[in-house]
């Protein structure tokens, strides 16, 4: 393997970003190990609300600096949005507790209870990592393993957004409580903007797979980052199947041809930035020895050809659709959740097409800021409408609605203050929640299939849903008036079915299990699991793919026996499941 360009003369800050499931965490962790082996002191930071850095290193990390004992010179930190938000609330409320009347303190706590505070607090810690001189003296490099692209772009936009918002002044309509701790941070945010846009201090590594949606995402990210002033960018295309590993296997040949075709037709936006190719490994990238091999100049070693054990018949996607039809009474909300890159968009599209093909009205939508529904579908079908919750469009719609309602009652000065407040970055979170709630209501008379954002972003959306429910319950609970909130609908198994999508790999299964636990704490019981892209069910004969297939078996067993009340397994497809015709085959019961 050629020397990797993104590792040459690395600056202080290295950001790994890209579509979910492309291998950002593995590459970030492997890079951190590589730099420590060059004698550097390194901190690896996860900004993903559903971080799995701890799982990769096999240790609990959390929201404070943790020394990784297996790698001398390496420390780690996971920005935990909930813990960070609580610390932020304590900093604001603590000084006034016992000083102001208890009713005032409770009012402040209520203002600080929503998702807006969670975002501000996580962002506050992020900017501190970029600007804290004491911290920067301890490390030669800080490696950021970021959330999937849409969430990361949002995080990187925030230093400039908050800096501009504070410079222009603020109102008092939507985020007064959360904003109360921001003013003193003005210079920190301005410094963060300076750091991010300095190519001598910050390098962005765009991670992708040799897949059309992933490469298009990388091209969009490149342009968005360039617009933010982040010019120092590298491209890493991860998980490439070497031609030497085809070994006469029809599946391996199809994969190799598909990847080579994508490499020859890169989107124009990323054709000229420095690029590296990282080969597919036969093993799961968990633990320090495996991570060391990822960036090794030697080809990954794998076992000789083995005889695959015979697998018992597995329920297919069509069987789940049949159950949905039997239990759905012609309508209901289906939410597909899971780690980025596990195929939620594909599974949501296949289920929506299967239901529409059975004659039911279906609304297929997404809450993912980096949505690819139209690219995946590539066509239309009777009974099916497709949409996405566009954060920018929803924010503008929300602003106009607030100005038309609350703004009408204000004088000119009051309207100006309200307009300023609605320019707060918090407004986007509120607007997206309103759109989410609106779509949920449609499920009363049709099937609504929602392709959600990757786990961390979805949990933040559920946090906003829970905060809204608590607020309504507080206002109406004592009056005896009946009420229904979006959270109550999500908790009702007659109205909502949550399907957790995963791959048969260690990290996605662990993250899916953690997601299930979080949902249960919120009173939401997942209805089914879908194991997507299973090589074991595709019966490869190429040694590298066979070893990956064998590694799937313990994870499949963990899902079937330990996590899922019902499940389906979808085999790896030789042809990419893009377009209506191919997607429809996933939801058709071939035994009928």
Question: What are 233's strand-pairing partners?
Answer: 204
Are 24 and 339 spatial neighbours (Cβ–Cβ below 8 Å)?
no
197 tagged catalytic: no
Q: From the candidates 18, 20, 26, 466, which is the catalytic residue? A: 26
How far apart are alpha carbons 544 and 547 in whole angstroms?
Answer: 5
496 tagged catalytic: no
Q: Is 543 helix (H, G, I), strand (E, B) or coil?
A: helix
Instruction: Find, among 489, 484, 435, the residue nearest to 461 by Cα.
Output: 435
How far apart are alpha carbons 17 and 150 in whole angstroms?
Answer: 10
Q: From the candidates 17, 19, 20, 21, which is the catalytic residue? A: 21
How far apart are alpha carbons 76 and 69 in whole angstroms?
Answer: 11
H or E stretch covering 419: helix 412-422
Q: From the candidates 23, 150, 177, 587, which is the catalytic residue? A: 23
Identify the sign of the CA torsion 419, 425, 430, 432: positive
How far apart are alpha carbons 412 and 527 in whole angstroms?
Answer: 51
24 tagged catalytic: yes
Q: From the candidates 18, 19, 47, 48, which is the catalytic residue? A: 48
Return all residues near 395 (Cβ < 8 A) that are at least 6 apart: 427, 428, 431, 432
Distances (CA, A) of 436 to 229, 335, 477: 32, 12, 23
Q: From the candidates 17, 25, 131, 424, which is the catalytic residue? A: 25
Which string of DSSP letters, residue by residue, matches 418-438? Answer: HHHHHTSTHHHHHHHHHHHHH
Q: From the candidates 19, 24, 344, 497, which is the catalytic residue? A: 24
Are 228 and 157 spatial neighbours (Cβ–Cβ below 8 Å)?
yes
541 tagged catalytic: no
Q: From the candidates 163, 345, 506, 507, which is the catalytic residue? A: 507
Tokens of 503: 């791959």
562 tagged catalytic: no
Helix, strand and coil content of the chain, in percent to the nearest 5, comes to: 50, 15, 35
26 tagged catalytic: yes
Return all residues near 49 (Cβ < 8 A) that are at least 6 apart: 80, 81, 122, 147, 151, 455, 456, 457, 459, 460
How far apart are alpha carbons 457 and 449 in whole angstroms?
Answer: 18
Burial class (CB in 10 A: 0-12, 13-18, 19+), 440: buried
H or E stretch covering 204: strand 202-209
Give the CA-trace dihedral at 206, 209, 214, 216, to 10 degrees. 70
Are 74 and 44 spatial neighbours (Cβ–Cβ below 8 Å)?
yes
340 tagged catalytic: no
Q: How many CA atoms are closer than 13 Å to the CA of 118, on its beta-carbon side?
A: 20
Are 582 and 348 spatial neighbours (Cβ–Cβ below 8 Å)?
no
Question: What are 336's strand-pairing partners?
Answer: 451, 499
Instruction: Find, among 575, 454, 582, the residue nearest to 212 by Cα.
Output: 575
Please identify every residue annotated as catalytic.
21, 23-26, 48, 507
């Amino acid at each position: 393997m050629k020397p990797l360009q993104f590792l040459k003369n690395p600056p202080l800050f290295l950001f790994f970003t890209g579509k979910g499931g492309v291998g950002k965490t593995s590459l970030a962790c492997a890079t951190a190990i590589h730099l420590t082996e060059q004698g550097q002191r390194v901190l690896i930071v996860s900004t993903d609300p559903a971080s799995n850095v701890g799982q990769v290193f096999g240790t609990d990390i959390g929201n404070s600096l943790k020394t990784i004992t297996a790698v001398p010179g390496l420390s780690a930190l996971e920005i935990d949005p909930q813990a960070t938000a609580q610390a932020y609330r304590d900093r604001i409320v603590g000084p006034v507790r016992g000083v102001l009347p208890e009713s005032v303190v409770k009012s402040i706590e209520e203002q600080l209870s929503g998702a807006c505070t969670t975002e501000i607090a996580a962002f506050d810690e992020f900017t501190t990592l970029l600007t804290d001189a004491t911290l920067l003296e301890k490390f030669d490099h800080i490696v950021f393993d970021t959330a999937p692209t849409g969430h990361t772009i949002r995080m990187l936009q925030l230093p400039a957004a908050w800096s501009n918002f504070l410079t222009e002044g603020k109102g008092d309509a939507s985020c007064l409580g959360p904003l109360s701790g921001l003013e003193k941070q003005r210079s920190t945010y301005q410094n963060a903007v300076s750091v991010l846009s300095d190519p001598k201090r910050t390098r962005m590594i765009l991670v992708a797979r040799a897949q059309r949606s992933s490469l298009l995402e990388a091209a969009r990210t490149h342009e968005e980052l360039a617009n933010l002033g982040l010019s120092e960018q590298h491209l890493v295309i991860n998980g490439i199947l070497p031609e030497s590993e085809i070994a006469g296997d029809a599946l391996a040949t199809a994969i190799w041809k598909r990847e080579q075709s994508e490499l020859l037709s890169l989107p124009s936006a990323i054709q000229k930035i420095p690029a590296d190719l990282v080969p597919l490994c036969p093993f799961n990238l968990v633990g320090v020895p495996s991570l060391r091999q990822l960036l090794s100049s030697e080809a990954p070693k794998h076992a000789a050809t083995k005889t695959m054990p015979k697998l018992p018949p597995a329920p297919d996607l069509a069987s789940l659709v049949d159950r949905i039809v039997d239990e759905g009474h012609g309508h209901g909300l289906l939410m597909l959740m899971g780690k980025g890159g596990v195929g939620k968009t594909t599974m949501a599209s296949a289920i929506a097409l299967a239901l529409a093909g059975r004659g039911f009205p279906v609304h297929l939508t997404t809450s993912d800021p980096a949505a690819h529904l139209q690219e995946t579908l590539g066509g239309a079908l009777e009974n099916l409408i497709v949409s996405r919750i566009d954060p920018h469009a929803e924010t503008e719609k929300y602003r106009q609605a607030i100005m038309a309602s609350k703004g009408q009652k204000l004088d000119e000065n009051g309207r100006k203050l309200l307009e300023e407040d609605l320019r707060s970055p918090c407004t986007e979170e509120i607007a997206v929640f309103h759109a989410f709630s609106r779509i949920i209501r449609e499920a009363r008379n049709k099937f609504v299939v929602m392709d959600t954002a990757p786990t961390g972003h979805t949990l933040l959306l559920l946090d906003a849903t829970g905060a809204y429910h608590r607020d309504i319950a507080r206002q109406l609970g004592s009056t005896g008036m009946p009420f229904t909130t979006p959270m109550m609908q999500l908790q009702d198994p007659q109205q909502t079915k949550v399907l957790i999508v995963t791959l048969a790999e260690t990290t996605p299964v662990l993250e899916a299990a953690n997601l299930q636990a979080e949902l249960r704490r919120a009173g939401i019981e997942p209805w089914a699991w879908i194991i997507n892209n299973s090589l074991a069910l595709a019966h490869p004969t190429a040694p590298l793919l066979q070893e990956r297939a064998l590694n799937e078996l313990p994870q499949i067993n963990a899902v079937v026996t330990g996590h899922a009340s019902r499940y389906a397994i979808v085999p790896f497809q030789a042809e990419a499941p893009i377009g209506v015709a191919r997607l429809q085959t996933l939801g058709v019961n071939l035994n009928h």
